[in-house]
Amino acid sequence: MAKKSKNFYRDISGILLLNKPLGLSSNAALQRARYLFNAKKAGHTGSLDPQATGVLPLCFGEATKVSGYLLNSDKRYITTVQLGETTTTGDTEGDILNTTTVTEISEQKLVKILEQFTGKVTQIPPMYSALKHNGTPLYKLARQGIEVKRKQREITIYELILLERTHDTLKLDVRCSKGTYIRTLAQDIGDALGFGAYITSLERTQVSPFDCSKIYTLEDLQQLAEYEDKKQLHDTLLSIDSALCNHPKIILNDTESARVKNGLKVTRDDIPDSSLIRIYHESGEFIGIGRLSSDKLLAPKRMMRTN
């Protein structure tokens, strides 16, 4: 990828739903997309493993101010689970640790075990993860053969649907809360069945609150970037406030808008009782994020740079 001059990058704001390809890290995918958009500033909203594919929201420009809120989003995945073997990483990247003969699993037993992993469950994060121990990512320690104790965390599996099965594989549709490790879920299901397991494929199909029916590959973006008119490329971007559409909003007049933009509180009788409020100017422009303060005023939280 040729290096571009600083003057080549532009102020572009919006959210791209990228279809991350297999084998590429989230940061590498981000940098390729940023290059195609010539965006000065960009960030992703929680990484996907290189061996995972699917929806990766990327935030450009002012949208990076809302990226942190997307880390708490619910997600949906489709994964294929191989029974009868375990690996060091919980996926195809690792070395095989144990092999067990897979015997017949009755439908009744399988349904019962999958039900055990629906609802609120606890997980121990895997060593091969980006979580940090004393400032060092766990996966770096794991590569050195070092294992540290990890705290259990509570997650929620909203739906766990069996899509297909063979003698020794399961294809699952998982809708889950933030912080869920699908590799760990597969391993735990494999242990409950008595055979061990690891995942052979993982695709993220949804990230809340977005409609993920239309996502773009790097090849799609490359094709659009080749046009002299960049309108079609820029039309792939969602508005910044699309990331916050599940939160209440308030509309301000000129005077009120000027106050919050200057960091001042606003008195209103209709302020939503929320720690996150979308703030709009009466023209319809999204101008920032606010909250209901302890003195029942609208306080600015994170304002957008507007024209």
Q: How far apart are the first and last CA of the chain?
A: 32
DSSP, collapsed to helix, strand or coil, labels residue 164 as strand
Give the bridge partners for 160, in sequence order.
174
DSSP, collapsed to helix, strand or coil, labels residue 86 as strand
> What DSSP state is assigned to residue 29?
H
Q: Which amino acid is at 39?
A: A
Tell me, yes or no, if 220 is annotated catalytic.
no
Give the bridge partners for 286, in sequence order.
280
| Two tokens, residue 300 | 């600015």
**Angle (nearest 5°) at CA 215 between 213 and 216:** 155
Secondary structure element (H or E) that encloses residue 84, with its range: none
By the 10 Å C-beta count (0-12 exposed, 13-18 middle, 19+ buried), 141 is classed as: middle
CA atoms within 13 A on the CB side of 198: 19
Q: Which residues contact 226 (CB under 8 A, 6 or more apart)?
A: none
Catalytic-role residue among 49, 91, 188, 241: 49
For the annotated catalytic residues, the residue numbers are: 49
